[in-house]
Amino acid sequence: MTENAAAHYSEYLMVDPLLTLQQPLSTHPEHDELLFIIVHQTYELWFKQIVHELRAARGLLFAGLTDRAMAVLTRIRTVLKTCVSQVDILETMTPLQFESFRTRLGQASGFQSAQFREIEALLGRRDRSAVAQLRPVDRMRVEHAMAEPTLWDATCHFMVSRGQALPTSILERDVRVPYQPTESVQQAVLTLYRTDQSAALVFERLVDIDVGMQEWRYRHVMMVERTIGSKSGTGGSTGVDYLRTTLFQPVFPELWRVRHQF
């Protein structure tokens, strides 16, 4: 029996409050500001889903539940693909159209997206500079995520459940510090790739997620460059120059380091 069943579609989804949340700040208002807000809000919703699924995938990998972990990783990969393709929509806005309301953003920037930093933390980022831009309440949330095991920590335990012996220095490492790639883990990855099709598929899903994150960063920086060129960001960074430094940083370095050995 379902408890507290909703009476209506609009009530279940809270459509009325949802539709009051798009509040352009430009005075006329500028036509494209609504798109800018909706695209960002949609991203924040997808980020929420990714955070939710990353924690689920991590739990399933820790528990060695391969099929269920695969299903969740596949969903994360698919949501990321949507995030990447959604860049197309905002790219229909010209630099001039953006300029018409850009000053209204003040210092607001995706730099301050707590959920994006939470995703990075769950994927292994341990660099405290990521939280410097956040409001105190958001900072606590991201610091909490930085003290949790990463998706890769869970993958190391998953490898043990598939019969690989990994050192305790990996399995019981201090998860608050950055993970250091090691030869023994790469050896286990290689063995599983060669001998265990299910584990190999899990690794491939992780590579998909890695590629998805990197693709998002690339599409974002190209969108930024075509929209503001070499201007600095509203969040205070150098803009495109800064964003370029975040490209081509693999999320799961171990999965890349072994590939020349096949």
Which residues sit at the interface with ligand HEM, rule CB under 6 A? 39-40, 43, 90, 98, 109-111, 113, 116, 220, 223-224, 227-228, 233-237, 239, 242-243, 246
Give the nearer residue to ligand HEM in terms of CB position, either 66 or 227.
227
Give the nearer residue to ligand HEM in terms of CB position, either 90 or 156.
90
Closest CB 226 distance from ligand HEM, rounded Å: 9
Closest CB 227 distance from ligand HEM, rounded Å: 4
Give the nearer residue to ligand HEM in terms of CB position, either 149 or 239.
239
Owner of token pair 């995703």: 119
Q: Report d(CA 77, CA 66) in Å as an integer.
A: 16
Give the nearer residue to ligand HEM in terms of CB position, either 10 or 94.
94
Closest CB 169 distance from ligand HEM, rounded Å: 30
Closest CB 220 distance from ligand HEM, rounded Å: 6
Give the nearer residue to ligand HEM in terms of CB position, either 51 or 192.
51
Closest CB 237 distance from ligand HEM, rounded Å: 3
